[in-house]
Amino acid sequence: MSVLLDISHIDMEFPTPKGTFTALRDVDLQIKKGEFVSLIGHSGCGKSTVLNVVAGLYKATRGGVILGDKEVTEPGPERAVVFQNHSLLPWLTAYQNVELAVKQVFGKTKSKAEMRAWIEHNLQLVHMGHAMHKRPGEISGGMKQRVGIARALAMQPKVLLMDEPFGALDALTRAHMQDSLMEIQAELNNTVIMITHDVDEAVLLSDRIVMMTNGPAATIGEILDVDLARPRNRLDLADDPRYNQYRARVLKFLHERHGKSKPQAMQASADKKVELDNKSVEHAA
Amino acid sequence: MTSSTLTNKKLPTWNLSLFDNNLFNSVVKNIAVPLAGILVFLLLWSATAQNIDTSLGKFPGPAAVWEQFDTLYQEHKRSREKEADFYERQRERNAKRLAEDPGYQPKIRDYTGKETFVDQILTSLVTVMSGFLLAVVIAIPLGIATGLSRTLNSAINPIVQVFKPVSPLAWLPLVTMVVSALYTSTDPLVAKSFLNSMITVTLCCLWPMVINTAVGVAGIDGDLVNVSKVLRLPPLKHVQKIVLPASVPMIFTGMRLSLGVAWMVLIAAEMLAQNPGLGKFVWDEFQNGSSDSLARIMAAVIVIGFIGFLLDRAMLQLQKLVSWDKDSVAH
């Protein structure tokens, strides 16, 4: 398949009172249509910066992003974002939150009845049909994130950008959400970039895992193709040797390779932690 | 809840939870204790008042003030009867003349009696609300613009900070002269004294609203702003759909503060501008210097306080009604 999204040699520098801070250096990544790509790395390594550049919220200092055959210059609904903290408008109901997006994107092309059906369809897709008319304050964190996803999906984006979408949720809810996301993905086959710091989540959901080195001047360290058949089932995969190999590869990268520029002492302590903690990187970070 | 638990901790011997009855506790806390407070206040007032001699006689105690409330109400009723009689007499006279001379053009002369205390309360309310609403109309758009643009904020902030602490008494002479110079209609819609008081109120209660609105707008969650950017909401829609609703809690906090300021300023402004409201009532009674004057002023003080309290409660209810963030509405 052809390349849909071309992130081409991006540098990102921020001016600070102490001089320029280089967040990203030469990040280069091509994503095909229908691909699910995870960006994984330690906190503060610039994963979110990459996502924000693709979203158009930041402008890269050097290099650029090309979607289809157009350069990305500003934010837009064809690159819908699911934010970590749901960022639903708290004064609107779930339905109205999705409606705001749908009206903005399809206001000129769809009739009122079509828009209504489309909003309801998307809310049902994320299993929120029963609580459409509740406000964010009245529903749980997982449900809010579902509405956030419905809002993004309803824009029919070319690329769906997810910034640690399940990071703020408890483990059980997160597992549910991941399963839901896989179902939706099987149905819609969206092109997705997801930021995560959960290794299991990355392996379970992705076609490719992009591992980023630590900042400053973070870049892509390694790319791992996850060649596991879909639909994937978390329980079956737990005993799958290939799944565990992938997991180990990512963990190993996060705990060893990222520390290249760091002094030896820290390197050693990072190595020790690998043995203690093989569940999730966030503890080590 | 918290206050009662705190008291319990501080004073274990006074433990009300011995009577662990919620209804009893809430009756005590919400009715009996405030009543006791008022009673103690009245006793202290009464005792102190008797020991203060002024050139207008003893300082009025609660009983004298209560008496004046009644007198003021009776005066109001009498004045209303007089007014009704006045119009009734005119009607009769006109009917009579019309019967004698069919070509007669009947004329109705306005009643020119003195405003009663109730009239003055109404005048004050109308004046304060006009000044306040004018301030709202100016302050909220200005606050939103200031909150959205950092440049505009830097430009306006020093001006706001300097004008905010200015007393209404300093503004009033300026306002009076400007109104006299510019408002020269021969058939004025409203009196100059009304305009002077109203504009002074506006000038004083503008600032808390500008500041709060700007802070509210500038403090909108960055994620919500990003949502708006991703949706490519045009600027006006961005303000309407995101900025305004997001800053409603802060806007209303500012409005509540401003209304409090407005009511305080109004009394002073009315005194000096001679706008026929409560401020003028107080001033006239002071100039009058009868033996009842102090009691009447004290009655006005209580009414002023009570109306101020009611205005604040009304604003709070309004804030609760329009605010999506119920937690942000403080008491």
By C-alpha distance, the chain B residue nearest A102 is B231
User: Does the beta-carbon distance from A75 to B229 stay under 8 Å?
Assistant: yes
Task: Return residue ranges of chain A for CATH 3.40.50.
Answer: 34-55+158-283
- For testing the chain A interface, which of B220, B226, B227 should be mutated: the one with the most A CBs within 10 Å? B227
How far is the C-alpha of B301 from the C-alpha of B39, rounded, in Å? Answer: 18
pLDDT recorded at residue B15: 52
Is residue B78 a part of any domain in this protein?
no
CA trace torsion B210, B212, B214, B217 (10° rounding):
-140
Continuous H helices in A60-111: 94-106
Identify the domain containing residue B186 by its residue range. 117-328
Task: List CB contacts (< 8 A) between A74 and chain B.
Answer: 229, 232
List the 241-260 stretch of B: residues with Cβ below 8 A of A: 241-242, 245-246, 248
Alpha helices in chain A (DSSP H): 47-55, 94-106, 112-125, 141-154, 171-188, 199-205, 234-237, 241-255, 264-276
- Tell whether A167 lies on the interface with B, counting CB pairs under 8 A: no
Residues in chain B closer than 8 A to A55 (CB atoms):
226, 230
Q: What is the DSSP string of B183-199?
A: ---SS-SS-HHHHHHHH
Does A89 contact B245 at a Cβ distance shorter than 8 Å?
A: yes
pLDDT tens for chain A, 285 residues: list them: 588 999 999 999 999 998 899 899 999 999 999 999 999 988 878 889 999 999 999 999 999 999 988 999 999 999 999 988 889 999 999 999 999 999 999 999 999 999 999 999 999 988 898 999 999 989 998 899 999 999 999 999 999 999 999 988 888 888 988 998 998 888 889 999 999 989 999 999 999 999 999 878 889 989 999 999 888 998 889 889 999 999 999 999 988 765 544 444 444 444 444 433 444 444 443
Contact status of B238 with chain A (Cβ, < 8 Å): no
Does B72 touch chain A if contact means CB atoms closer than 8 Å? Answer: no
- Which one of B224, B225, B226, B230 makes the best mutation probe of the A interface by having the most chain A beta carbons within 10 Å? B230
Interface contact A34, partner B, CB < 8 A: no
Residue A110 φ then ψ, to 5°: -110, 150
Is B211 a member of any domain? yes
CA distance A255 to chain B (A): 31
| pLDDT band of B327, cuts 50, 70, 90 | low
- Whether residue B22 is contained in a domain is answered as no
Cβ of A89 and B242 within 8 Å? Answer: yes
Percent of chain B with pLDDT over 90: 53
Chain B's closest residue to A54, CA to CA, is B230
SS3 call for A13 = strand
Q: Is the pLDDT of residue B326 over 80?
A: no
Rounded to a whole number of angstroms, the distance from the CA of B220 to the nearest CA of chain A is 11
CA distance B233 to chain A (A): 7
pLDDT, residue B134, reads: 96
Cβ–Cβ below 8 Å for B230 and A75: yes
* Chain B contact present for A43, CB below 8 A: no
The total number of structural domains that make up chain B: 1
Nearest chain A residue (CA) to B322 = A91
**Amino acid type, B29:** K
Please list the residues that pair with A6 across neighbouring strands.
A30, A66
Question: Can you list the positions of beta strands (E) in chain B?
Answer: 53-54, 57-58
Please name the helix (run of DSSP H) or strand (run of DSSP E) that holds residue B9, with its range, or none: helix B2-10
Q: Do B233 and A101 touch (CB under 8 A)?
A: no
Q: Is there a domain that residue B201 lies in?
A: yes
Q: Is residue B75 part of a domain?
A: no
Tell me the C-alpha distance between B108 and B122, whole Å.
Answer: 24
The domain that holds B206 is classified in CATH as: 1.10.3720.10
Contact call for B324 and A90, based on CB within 8 A: yes
Q: Which helix (H) or strand (E) holds B231?
A: none
Q: Residue B288's pLDDT band (boundaries 50, 70, 90)?
A: confident
Q: What are phi and psi of B101, to 5 degrees?
A: -135, 100
Q: Which of A80, A85, A137 sits opposite B230 (nearest CB)?
A: A80
B148 assigned to some structural domain = yes
pLDDT at B329: 62
pLDDT at residue B113 tops 80 = no
Q: Name the fold adopted by A34-55+158-283.
A: Rossmann fold (3.40.50)
Rounded to a whole number, what is the distance in Å from the CA of B268 to chain A's nearest CA?
Answer: 40
Q: How far is A15 from chain B (nearest CA, A)?
A: 18
- CA B206, chain centre distance (Å): 14
CB-based contact B231 A100, cutoff 8 Å: yes
Does the CB of A87 have a partner CB in chain B at under 8 Å? Answer: yes
- Residue B94 domain flag: no
For residue range B137-193, list pLDDT tens digits in order.
999 999 999 999 999 999 999 999 999 888 888 889 999 999 989 988 777 788 888
pLDDT tens digits along A140-151: 988 999 999 999
Q: Is A194 helix (H, G, I), strand (E, B) or coil?
A: strand
Task: Please check whether residue B145 touches A, CB under 8 A.
Answer: no
CA distance B86 to B300: 28
Helix, strand and coil content of chain B, in percent to the nearest 5, comes to: 80, 0, 20
- CA nearest to B217, candidates B154, B141, B136, B137: B141
**Between A55, A57, A77, which is nearest B232 by CB?**
A77
Confidence band of B125 (pLDDT split at 50, 70, 90): very high
* CB burial readout B244-283, b (16+ within 10 A) else e: bbbbbbbbbbbbbbbbbbbbbbbbbbbbbbbbbbbbbbbb
pLDDT above 70 as % of chain B: 92
User: Considering only CB atoms, which chain A residues are within 8 Å of B221?
Assistant: 87
Average confidence (pLDDT) over B313-323: 89
Tell me the nearest-neighbour CA distance from A100 into chain B, angstroms. Answer: 9
Q: Which chain A residues contact residue B325 at CB under 8 A?
A: 90
Q: Contacts of residue A91 in chain B, CB cutoff 8 Å?
A: 245-246, 248, 324
| ipTM surpasses cut 0.90 | no
> Does B226 contact A76 at a Cβ distance shorter than 8 Å?
no
Is B214 within 8 Å of B208 (Cβ atoms)? Answer: no
What is the chain A residue with the closest CA to B222? A87
A220: distance to nearest CA of chain B, Å? 26
